[in-house]
Amino acid sequence: MPWDAVDLTPSEAASVRAVSEGVADEVQQKLAWRVIREKICNVDALSFTFAPDGQRVGDFAEGKRWVAKTMTLFATMPIKPNSRGAPPATPVPE
């Protein structure tokens, strides 16, 4: 079922943790991105599930897919420069 726990390798789990803590290197960031989209959100799976409570299961799966699709949209969206031609300022962590 879409709400079941996802099996991650130790390196996958460590990569997701490193991203959440803001200390991931480039390799960890790319691995975490792939894990979140493909394993956790199951972006390429069908959201329809043949089960006794199929509508609820399908809705849950579609919500996970929507998160991955939205993340992908923002990651691939063109970033407009400001009026001086510079990219937007990088957010400063609190």
| pLDDT tier, 22 (very low <50, low <70, confident <90, very high otherwise) | very high
Q: Pull the structure tokens for residue 47.
A: 């959201």
Instruction: Output phi, psi for 61, to 5 deg.
Output: -65, -40
Average pLDDT on 24-50 reads: 84
pLDDT at 46 over 80: no
Prediction pTM value? 0.66
Q: What is the maximum span of the chain, computed from C-alpha positions, in angstroms?
A: 58
User: Each residue of 54-77: b (16+ CB within 10 Å) or e?
Assistant: eeebbebbeebbeebeeeeeeeee
